[in-house]
Amino acid sequence: MKPAHHATRATPAAIAAALLLAIGFTTASATPLDTRGIPAGAGGIIHLDYDLFAKSALNASAKKFSEKAFASQGVGDIGDFQKQTGVNPDADIRAVTIGLFKPSADKPGEPQTIVVIRGNFTPAKLVDYAKQLHCPVTTRGGMTVISSPEKKAADDSAADDNGDDDDNARGMAGMIRMGRPGQTFFAGIVDNSTILVAGSLDILDKSAASLSGGGYSPPASFSSFCRREGTPWLSGCIDKELTGGAAAGMMPAGDVKNIQFSIAETGSRLRARALSEYGSAGGATQAKNMFQGLLGFLQMGASQAKTPEAAAQAKKMKLLVDSLKMTQDGASLDLTLDLSAADAAELMNQ
């Protein structure tokens, strides 16, 4: 046995890795955007349509990448995870929706999150698996709640791993180390079709309460934005409260009011789009100038490649830069990446 669950760190980076792992293995049917379980007051949302991504040219590349990331943790493989939990990501995960909230006072640089996972699950097996990892299991508001392991349990399991060549012990200890204090998570098993994962009990409770309605509603413009892109397999929007943190890496923040983004494929083409609304035309112009400077810097670096390896990377960078387009319309800045899905897959392999 090698317990190998990937979603134990309730931080944005770890959740992204966990989702990439799930995406990489998914071929199941999915549901469209469903905001139930995302509490009112969320500052943004990200939705993954598994059914569409399963047909994407990027699926195989994502799977390879996620397998490597998973193996690097030393916690077994996806087959072990499936045996222990009864969850087959290929068939059982239907959709994942993430709600983003303002950072807490003690972690100002990390948005708080709620992850709503929809699919087909066997709660009893998940609970047994959690207990093997020394995770506390309680009942709260009708949910079965699995918490990150306490420090002593994590330390004891890690100590058992010292000098032990047994794969099971290595997998267990590696898994427990991922859940040490400071990396707290709470997974609420609502029923056999819904699991909620949050970094705090407060957000978990609010998420459970919003499953019956009255939760988050995306901006009215979000639906029309997505429709313009066909049927994206990834879509999301982030509002002003988060644009200085979570969204700053996507678009220059400045006085940005909100960002909407999507990735869709039509035929053999992939199109990624990020539309930012700024408080003024001047703010959009400033962001556009920053992007143009960045692209110029990348092009200059690519032109100075001196080795075959660097030349190959420079070729890929040129493809990326050439595929980007910026359009400003008053206070709006539209950034699009349009290239063949095969080229996108090749870029991802790097």
pLDDT value, residue 208: 96
Asked if residue 292 and residue 177 are part of one domain, the reply reads no
Examine the domain organization and report whether 99 and 135 are in the same domain. yes
pLDDT-derived band at 239 (thresholds 50, 70, 90) equals: confident
DSSP-derived secondary structure letter, 133: T
Domain that holds residue 74: 12-212
182, 212, 242 - which closes a domain: 212
Are residues 125 and 93 located together in one domain of the fold? yes
Is the domain of 208 the same as that of 74? yes
Residue 204 predicted with pLDDT over 80? yes
pLDDT of residue 187: 94
> pTM for this structure?
0.76
Range from 62-76, 253-267, 326-340 carrying the lowest mean pLDDT:
62-76
pLDDT at residue 333 is higher than 90? yes
Quote the pLDDT of residue 104. Answer: 75
CA distance 52 to 38: 22
Identify the residue with better confidence: 251 or 68. Answer: 68
Residues 240 and 320 in one domain: yes
Residues 199 and 50 in one domain: yes
Q: Residue 321 has what pLDDT?
A: 83
pLDDT computed for residue 71 by the predictor? 65
Domain assignment of residue 7, yes or no: no
pLDDT of res. 58: 78
Do both 49 and 189 map to the same domain?
yes
The structure tokens listed for 22 are 């799930």
Domain identity same for 287 and 172: no
**What confidence tier does 178 reach under pLDDT thresholds 50, 70, 90?**
very low
Mapping DSSP to helix (H, G, I), strand (E, B) and coil, where does residue 269 land? strand
Share of the chain above pLDDT 90, in %: 28
Give residue 67's pLDDT. Answer: 66
Q: Which of 151, 181, 212 is the last residue of a domain?
A: 212
**Residue located via tokens 């070729």:** 315
CB under 8 Å to 146, separation ≥6 — which residues? 126, 127, 130, 135, 136, 137, 186, 187, 188, 189
Q: At residue 248, does pLDDT exceed 60?
A: no
The whole-angstrom distance between residue 8's C-alpha and the CA centroid of its chain comes to 13
What is the pLDDT averaged over residues 72-83? Answer: 66
Q: Do the domain assignments include residue 1?
A: no
User: 4 lies in a domain?
Assistant: no
pLDDT of residue 266: 83
pLDDT at 144: 96
Do 231 and 165 share a domain, yes or no? Answer: no
Sign of CA dihedral 251, 23, 51, 147: negative
Binned at pLDDT 50, 70 and 90, residue 305 comes out as low
Mean pLDDT rounded to a whole number for the chain: 75
Question: Which of 177, 212, 247 is the last residue in one of the domains?
Answer: 212
Residue 263 lies in a domain: yes
Overall domain count for the chain = 2
- Identify which of 13-22, 125-134, 149-158 has the greatest average pLDDT: 125-134
Are 186 and 226 found together in one domain? no
- What integer pLDDT is reported at residue 14 of this predicted model? 42
pLDDT digits (tens, 9 = 90+) for 306-319: 777 777 777 777 88
Residues 197 and 229 in one domain: no
